[in-house]
Amino acid sequence: MPSYEVTTASAAEMHRFREWADEEGWNPGRSDIVPFHTADPRGFFLGRLDGEPVVSVSGVRYGTDFGFIGFYIARPAVRGQGYGIRIWRTAMRHLDGRNIGLDGVVQQQENYRRSGFRRVWTHVRYAGVPAGAEASAGVRLVDGRDVPFDRLAEYDRRFFPAEREAFLSQWIGLPSHTSLAAVRDGRLQGFAVMRPATVGSRIGPLHAASQDIASALVHGLTGDTPDEPVALDVPDINTPSVELMERLGLEPTFECARMYTGPTPDVDSGGIFAVTTLELG
């Protein structure tokens, strides 16, 4: 019988998570792995068959009571043989006692329901070359790295169920990432990050007080690369965001369900025009 074991992934092994996600067609960010690993270095797992990694999952802890599952991937040759559920249980034990979230692909949603998850909304990926994004009168866009970090982290906390300062500092600080904050009348009214992906760029998060501010942030992020495609993962319950994507000429290409084991977190869902990342929430 082949030998199977689950171990915590080392920093050097994190490249596998991105490579496998890329092969699944998820269009991961090119530098995602650095901030992902920073979020919870003990939260990434590999299942090894005779020493060879064949299954992955992440179970990232945030704060004291929230966690997020992602990167649940089995290599095609070992699917349906029980290796996935064994690594899944490892991630769930790592997050024991927390409200756990995930973004589940359509094919796996019934399995997640059997594990105690319930759907609260759908994330729809909109992609293409944006056209029609506009600046907004009275809104000043500044480099996110120029905003005092405690102020930015406090703003981010409105839209996420737990503190994630270690992740956020990397997310805005990487040289390949572009971050913008929207300021109106001296108040922080929006925040967005764009990063290079396998195809084009990904924008996430896109947090804004209104549709016009969200449009201004997209305009500011993409103005220097007007012909480059972008992708955003939009909660379908945010009607102004869906309307903005359609106005920009972006097309829906993919969807998954945001699911939780516990209560729906009390966040400003109306201000989430695009989620940060489907892998880490």
Beta strand 66-74 with 52-62 is antiparallel
pLDDT value at position 107?
86
The per-residue pLDDT for range 21-38, each reduced to its tens digit, is: 999 999 999 999 999 999
Give the CA angle between residues 211, 260, 26 to the nearest 5°. 65
Which tokens belong to 193? 């990050």
The CATH classification number of 126-274 equals: 3.40.630.90
Task: Say whether 126-274 and 4-117 share the same fold.
Answer: yes
Domain ranges of the chain: 4-117, 126-274
State whether residue 27 is helix, strand or coil. coil
Instruction: Assess whether pLDDT exceeds 70 at residue 1.
Output: no
CATH class of 4-117: alpha beta
Residues 6+ away with beta carbon under 8 Å from 70: 57, 58, 60, 102, 103, 278, 279, 280, 281
The lowest-confidence range among 55-64, 84-93, 219-228 is: 219-228
The per-residue pLDDT for range 114-150, each reduced to its tens digit, is: 999 999 999 999 999 999 777 776 899 999 999 999 9
Which amino acid would we find at residue 244?
Answer: L
